[in-house]
Amino acid sequence: MDRRNLLKGAVAAATVTAAAPAISQNAAARTLRFVPQANLANFDPIWGTQYVVRNAAAVVWDTLYGVDENLVAQPQMVEGETVSSDGLTWEFRLRPGLIFHDGTPVLAKDVVASINRWAPRDPMGQMLRAIQDELVAVDDRNFRWKLKRPYPKMKYALGKCGTPCCFIMPERIAGTAGNAMISEFVGSGPMSFKRDEWVPGARAVFEKFGRYTPREGAASWLAGGKRILMDRMEWVVMPDPATAANALQAGEVDWWESPISDLVPLLRRNRNILVDIADPLGNIGSFRMNHLHAPFNNLKVRQAVMMALSQEDYMRAVVGSDTALWSVLGGFFTPGTTSYSEAGGAVMKTPNMDAAKRLLAESGYANEPVTCLVGQDQPLLKPMGDVTADLLRRLGMNVDFVATDWGTVGQRRAVRNPPGQGGWSMFHTWHAGADCVNPAGYNALRANGNDAWFGWPSVPSVEAGINEWFDAPTPALEKAAIDKINREAVENVVYAPTGFFKSYQAWRRNVSGVVKGPLPFFWGVSKT
């Protein structure tokens, strides 16, 4: 027993403490204290699309399907489905024994209401609605979705882990309009959210929901049996990485979602702490350009930047010196997956500043200012901004560096005016690898002009490739479509990826069941 606990024990024995009894030693062992990647400020996974909200929501709400570690959608709340021979009618049947946290059973009408709230805010959901004929609850356990055209990626849409996920809520809550936040958090998943103990910005508390019936079989990411082996989970928000590292070492927290890589050697030296890669699918950094205005409306200028860009510089700046954590991308899709392609991507892998300068001169760049929006409060984006300022200056461009906070970036990037009138030329962001595995749900890759994501790239050939992928009946044709998309996206610089990076996660030795994945999975995790 360490000195402090000895002291504490002696004092406690000698003092009469008031009011609430301390949690017994046993109960404390069944409480997992987790440090999340960001603050859980709000808790509506459909209304807000931040990753941290999705991570918490995944343990409180269940989904119809769930992707496993191969990103194949497996049935979760659904017992089975039948598709008509023409591929237009999908009939789903729910598992027996599904129950909400307020004790009411999960019925098909709850599912239909939840889908109706989710679909308008999700790209795949929007595609489904566009071709929807009808979506009805047939009875308490069955519902039917009739389409006007086949949609083979239906199960993936309902089971993906990219935000927003199709979480199933009670009908009355799912009836909340999409532009309002839900105010009740009645879940369908294995843990319930303790709203009265929630201190936004400091703490969130989840408790095991005893009446949840997990599926048979082992859990694999969002699929399989979600068995909770702890009584209680506390999310402790720590704004200071040094403090979090110390807290982990001192045993005041048990699991840290994303330690910064520079502190990992310190944690590794501690005998009580284990460190491993958090997410094999990693993240893709992005140098997002504004295709509407100068200078990045000029293809050659974009190409010059991509040519000069050294992903290695960005990755070292963002993730550190640990080369196990990053690699250079030859394309726009997630490395290590079947859809990763380097077709046409040679220019991304070898930076060439001289060739880039020549290309810039050829492009007719007339020294227009490049307005860079950089959120200083984002630990991943701030170093990228620093590297960019350096890169563009060396390239000979006129840099207008706007150092501000993420909120301002978020507002300003939606403005379509020219940079001089409140607009922008570039900003940095990153995309979870799970979202970039293929064109489904990969918003940032869409190049349909005004309907595209911020930056509004307009590249018909990329769009054509994406449509080919959606319609591809065989994996071989899918791969061909991916290669085409990649080539066109590189050639036209939809955006400039700054590299592929992963992060670590760290936990204490007495916690078992921690797995790698696109989000932290709390089923199967226990503490001794």
Partner 1 sequence: MWAYIIRRVLATIPVMAFVALFVFSLLYLAPGDPAAVIAGDQATPEDVERIRASLGLDRPYLVRFSEWAFRILQGDLGTSIFTNLPVGHMIAQRIEPTLSLMIVTLCLALTIAIPMGVVAAWKQGTWIDRAVMGFAVLGFSVPVFVVGYLLAYVFALELDWFPVQGYTPFAEGFFPWIENLVLPAVALGGVYIALIARITRATMLEVLQQDYIRTARAKGAGQASILFLHALKNASVPIVTVVGIGIALLIGGAVVTESVFAIPGLGRLTVDAILRRDYPVIQGVVLLFSFVYVLVNLGIDLLYTFLDPRIRY
Partner 2 sequence: MIPPGLAIAQPMPDVLPPVKPRRGVLGFLRRYPTIAIGGGLLLVMLCIAIFAPFLWTKDPTSLAPALRTREPGAQFWFGSDMLGRDVYSRVLYGARVSLLVGFSVAFFASVIGLAIGLFSGFIRLADSIVMRVMDGMMSIPPILLAIALMALTRGSVQNVILAITIAEIPRVTRLVRGVVLSLREQPYVDAAVASGTGTVMIMWRHILPNTLAPLTVQATYICAAAMITEAILSFIGAGTPPIIPSWGNIMAEGRALWQVKPYIVFFPAVFLSITVLAVNLLGDGLRDAIDPRLAKKL
Q: Please give the residue ranges that form the binding site for partner 2 (CB under 8 A).
A: 240-242, 245-246, 260, 262-263, 265-266, 312-314, 316-317, 320-321, 376-377, 379, 382-383, 386-387, 389-390, 401-405, 408
- What's the closest the beta carbon of residue 266 comes to partner 1, in angstroms? 11
Q: How far apart are CA 424 and CA 376, in angstroms?
A: 16
Give the x/- contact pattern for partner 1 in 354-393, rule: CB under 8 A. Answer: -----------------------x----------------
Near partner 1 by CB under 8 A: residue from 130, 202, 346, 477 = 202
Nearest to 250, CA basis, from 504, 4, 526:
4
**The only residue of 29, 236, 389, 403 in contact with partner 1, by rule CB under 8 A:** 236
What is the rounded distance in angstroms from the CA atom of residue 477 to the CA atom of residue 339?
A: 11
Residue 248 · residue 273 · CB < 8 Å: yes
Min CB(387)–partner 2 separation in Å = 6
DSSP H/E element including 247: helix 241-250
Q: Between residue 315 and residue 334, which ones bind partner 1 under the rule CB under 8 A? A: none
Which of partner 1, partner 2, none does residue 140 bind (CB under 5 to 8 Å by kind)? none
**Strand, helix or coil for residue 153:** coil
End-to-end CA distance of the chain: 16
Among 28, 130, 138, 181, binds partner 1 (CB under 8 A): 181
User: Which residue in the block uniquely carries the two structure tokens 């409180």?
Assistant: 60
Q: Considering only residues 415-444, where is the footprint of partner 1 by CB under 8 A?
A: 429, 431, 435, 443
Q: Shortest gap between Cβ of 224 and partner 1 (angstroms)? A: 26
In terms of CB distance, is 134 or 240 closer to partner 1?
240
116 near partner 1 (CB under 8 A): no
Calpha distance 300→277 (Å, rounded): 38
With helix as H, strand as E and coil as C, how does 357-384 read? Answer: HHHHHHHCCCCCEEEEEEECCCCCHHHH
Nearer to partner 2, 68 or 312 (CB): 312
Q: Using CB under 8 A, which of the segments 48-56, 77-85, 134-142, 488-496 binds partner 1?
A: 48-56
Residue 528's binding partner among partner 2, partner 1, none (Cβ under 5 to 8 angstroms by kind) is none
Nearer to partner 1 (CB atom), residue 242 or residue 277: 242
153 vs 412 by CB, closer to partner 1: 412
**Could you tell which of partner 2, partner 1, none binds residue 366, using a CB distance below 5 to 8 A set by kind?**
none
Q: Is residue 251 classed as helix, strand or coil in its secondary structure?
A: coil
Which region, judged by CB under 8 A, interacts with partner 1, from 16-24, 84-92, 469-477, 518-526? 16-24
Site membership for partner 1, residue 476 (CB under 8 A)? no
The first and second tokens of residue 313, run together, are: 């510089």
The closest alpha carbon to 213, from 315, 340, 77, belongs to 77
Q: How far is the CB of 225 from partner 2 (least distance, A)?
A: 38
Report in angstroms how near the CB of residue 164 gets to partner 1 at its nearest.
9
Q: Which does 454 bind (CB under 5 to 8 A by kind): partner 1, partner 2, none?
A: partner 1
Residue 378 and residue 381: Cα distance in Å, rounded?
A: 5
**Binding partner of 414, given partner 2, partner 1, none, CB within 5-8 angstroms per partner class:** partner 1
Closest separation in Å from C-beta 34 to partner 2: 19
Q: Which of 166, 173, 238, 459 binds partner 1 (CB under 8 A)?
A: 238
The nearer residue to partner 1, 164 or 383, going by C-beta atoms, is 164
Q: Which is nearer to partner 2, 223 or 317 (CB)?
A: 317
Q: CB under 5 to 8 A by kind: which of partner 1, partner 2, none does 19 bind?
A: partner 1
Which residue of 179, 421, 474, 528 would you call a contact of partner 1, by CB under 8 A? 179
Closest CA to 333 of 468, 484, 219: 484
- Assess contact for 121 and 46: CB atoms under 8 A: yes
> 438: Cβ–Cβ under 8 A, 6 or more apart, which residues?
333, 339, 469, 478, 482
Residue 316 binds which of partner 2, partner 1, none (CB < 5-8 A, kind-dependent): partner 2
CB of 398 to partner 2, least distance (A): 14
Between 244 and 485, name the residue whose CB sits nearer to partner 1: 244
Query: For the sheet containing 326-327, what is the strand order?
Result: 326-327, 496-501, 283-289, 426-432, 369-375, 398-404
- Omega cis (within 30) before 259: no
Backbone angles phi and psi of 327, in degrees to 5: -150, 165
Neighbours of 407 (CB within 10 A): 10
Helices (H), 472-520: 475-492
Across 249-360, the runs of DSSP E, i.e. the strands, are 255-256, 273-277, 283-289, 326-327
Q: How many Cα atoms are found within 13 Å in the side-chain-facing hemisphere of 384? A: 29
Q: DSSP for 34-75?
A: EE-SS------TTT---HHHHHHHHHHS-BSEEE-TTS-EEE
> Other CB atoms closer than 10 Å to residue 22's CB: what's the count?
9
CB 181 within 8 A of CB 140: no
Dist. CA 502–CA 320, nearest whole Å: 11
- The distance of closest approach from Cβ of residue 519 to partner 2 in the complex, given in angstroms and rounded to an integer, is 23
118 part of the interface to partner 1, by CB under 8 A: no
Q: What is the DSSP letter of 275?
A: E
Q: Which of 1, 13, 20, 366 binds partner 1 (CB under 8 A)?
A: 20
Among 102, 140, 390, 405, binds partner 1 (CB under 8 A): 405
Question: Would you tell me which residues interact with partner 1 (CB under 8 A)?
Answer: 2-4, 8, 11-12, 15, 17-20, 22, 39, 41-44, 47-50, 53, 121, 162-163, 177-181, 183, 198-203, 236-240, 242-244, 246-247, 249-250, 252, 377, 404-414, 429, 431, 435, 443, 453-454
